[in-house]
Structures are given as structure tokens and as C-alpha cells.
Amino acid sequence: MFRISGNSMIEAGIYDDDVVVVDRDTRPVEGHIVIAIVDSGFVCRQLARRQGGMMLEARNRHLHYEPTSAEGIEIWGVVRSSVRDFRR
């Protein structure tokens, strides 16, 4: 499990402070939402195939997040589900 910090994936239904269940044994493929290690920190992004290869892309059209090349990036795991606490 992994707690999300930020709003980069709200269009995928993943919000700040949600908890995601991460499968570390599944090989990530295009379209998967993943937890990746970028610049020594964890990010939640969707894998997308673009010209030049695989990219890590945010899913929030209201905020600008620069896509990141997945080349050489460690994919920590594939997100399988999310849990939201409505008591906040």
C-alpha cells in the first residue's frame, strides 16, 4: 500500500491522501497506472506510448505536469486499486 500525496491523477480517480494498493510482481505495460521512482522520489503516473517510447503522464488537465520519459526510470509497482477515507 502507498499513500498518495498530490492531485496529479485526479482524472484517473486517484486523489490526494488516497491509499493505493500496489502490485510489485506485475510487469507494467502501456495504460497501467504505476508508482515510479523519479529524482529520488515516488510519483503516481500512467504509462503511455508516445513518439520516442514510453512516458509517465499525469492525469490532471487543470495543472501542468511535464511528461517524463520512462526510459531508465524504476517502476516500483502497478496500482491495482485505491481506497479513500470519507471521514476527512
CA gap 24, 8 in Å, rounded: 21
Domains of the chain: 2-83 (2.10.109.10)
pLDDT at 88 over 90: no
Residue type, 12: A
CA gap 62, 49 in Å, rounded: 22
- What stretches of the chain show up as alpha helix (H) in DSSP? none
pLDDT confidence bin for 87, thresholds 50/70/90: confident
- pLDDT tens sequence across 34-50: 999 999 899 999 999 99
pLDDT confidence bin for 51, thresholds 50/70/90: confident
